[in-house]
Amino acid sequence: MAQGWLILGFVAGVLVTSVWHRCRSSPKRSDPAPRFFHDLLDQAPIGYIQVDEENRLIYCNPCSVELLGVQVPDFIGKRKEPLLKWVRSYELDQLIGQVRGGSAPVVKDWVWQVVLPDPDNPAPQPSRALRGYGLHLSQGQVGIFLLDRQEVVQLQQQGDLWTADIAHELKTPLTAMRLVTETLQNKADGQLRPWLDRLLGEVLRLSELVQDLLELSQTYHGHKPSLRLEEIRLLEVVHGAWQILEPLAQKRQVRLECEIGPDCILRGDRDRLVRLFLNLLDNSIKHSPALQQILVTASLGDDRVVVDVIDCGQGFPPECVGRVFERFYRGAPSPCRFTSEQGGSGLGLAIAQQIVELHHGQIQAMNNQDTGGAQVRVILPLSPPNVKNAVVP
């Protein structure tokens, strides 16, 4: 990612500087694609495509031809043809439309699937993950830089597969360790009991981590878990999650303030929604100072409910807000945490995001202006549209 931005910045900088000097020396020249610009981009290690105000192809460099897996257009320099006639990519055309509809550059990721143009036997080719950077040019033109992300995607997929395999391998020995520890716990004397209690706690923590990894791997490998949809009162779900966490909340002297009406009802998977608020409230408790409250509010719309979980801690550091839903990501440890709690898995918010997306909802992280603490907003449809793998009791 950083390398791509560096290359893009270098090319853009050289382009702007060169065009500025060219315009100063030849102010009457109106060539939209000067020769020196083409010479530079012909050697660039990233793809580049340029279209006019009517989305007709003006220029493409060799790298873009290679990335898209299409033939070199033979009409460049002779006549202008629509971009879609050369490369039939809805995502690329949509990116250009988004650039025209705004004033800032647009970034878009997609998977490009090349199909050889044989009407009788179309032969699909291996797909390739691309990232496009679209920017405004003069005279209504649009330039698109193309980066190849296939290697990055493959590395991510290999990492997900490795994580899932390790989790499966750890599940059996951890279960055996738990059984042995519980057996010894019942037979130990007073001096050994605290050590066995601590050992059992660590085994349970590792078991929960393994289960979290297994749940996440299902979605990342395209196997979405089934949902058992039923009518649910949101207030009951939040109170159910809080009851599980109440011992931890009492230890921290943190209380719950819930502003959810009894008429707030939606269709969803009860167990997964309890897990959603269990993770959100657990995160809030661990980062809340003593004698403070955690506020949960809900507002109903025509077809959705917006739920906010707000604490009174130090909030998300600015550099962490965009990454809190990444797996294993943990920002700077909060001074409000107990020492034994500083080793969180970094999976709680990632699982929360997965549950929300399974319900066709959205989740956002921010800092609350009133309390200064962290605020997580969950937007859920009252009835998830077209939920696949749904089981209705």
Tokens of 68: 């898209």
**Residue 345 CB partners (closer than 8 Å, separation 6+):** 208, 209, 212, 328
Pick 285 or 157 by higher pLDDT: 285
Is residue 238 pLDDT above 90, yes or no?
Answer: yes
Average pLDDT, the chain: 80
Report pLDDT for 16. Answer: 46
**Residue 197 CB partners (closer than 8 Å, separation 6+):** 185
**Residue 379 CB partners (closer than 8 Å, separation 6+):** 304, 305, 306, 307, 356, 361, 362, 363, 364
Quote the crossing angle between the two packed helices 150-187 and 193-220, to the nearest 10°.
150
- Comparing CA positions, the residue from 384, 388, 339 lying closest to residue 359 is 384
Pick 136 or 35 by higher pLDDT: 136
Greatest mean pLDDT among 13-22, 57-66, 119-128, 319-328: 57-66
Residue 9: φ, ψ to 5°: -65, -40
pTM: 0.59
Give the mean pLDDT of 242-267. 92
Going from the N-terminus, what domains does the chain have, and what CATH number goes with each? Answer: 2-148 (3.30.450.20), 156-220 (1.10.287.130), 228-391 (3.30.565.10)
Pick 346 or 120 by higher pLDDT: 346
- Comparing CA positions, the residue from 324, 321, 380 lying closest to residue 355 is 380
Are 303 and 381 in contact by the 8 Å Cβ rule? The answer is yes
For 86, the 3-state DSSP assignment is: helix
For 57, the 3-state DSSP assignment is: strand
Please tell me the number of Cα atoms within 13 Å of 29 on its side-chain side: 13
pLDDT digits (tens, 9 = 90+) for 290-314: 999 999 999 998 899 999 999 999 8
Pick 340 or 133 by higher pLDDT: 133
First to last CA, the chain: 46
DSSP assignment of 120-163 = SS-EE---EEEEEEEEE-GGG-EEEEEEE-HHHHHHHHHHHHHH
Are 258 and 235 in contact by the 8 Å Cβ rule? The answer is yes
State how far the Cα of 141 lies from the Cα of 296, in Å rounded to an integer: 48
Greatest mean pLDDT among 215-229, 273-287, 310-324: 273-287
Is residue 33 pLDDT above 80, yes or no?
Answer: no
pLDDT digits (tens, 9 = 90+) for 61-88: 999 988 888 888 877 766 778 888 888 8
Is residue 375 pLDDT above 90, yes or no?
Answer: yes
Question: The dihedral of CA 329, 357, 341, 312: what is its sign?
Answer: positive
User: How many CB atoms neighbour CB 375 within 10 A?
Assistant: 21
Pick 335 or 286 by higher pLDDT: 286
Are 283 and 241 in contact by the 8 Å Cβ rule? The answer is no
Q: Which residues lie across from 48 on neighbouring strands? A: 145
Place of tokens 């560096």: 6
Give the mean pLDDT of 20-25. 45
State how far the Cα of 256 lies from the Cα of 241, in Å rounded to an integer: 11
State how far the Cα of 330 lies from the Cα of 289, in Å rounded to an integer: 19
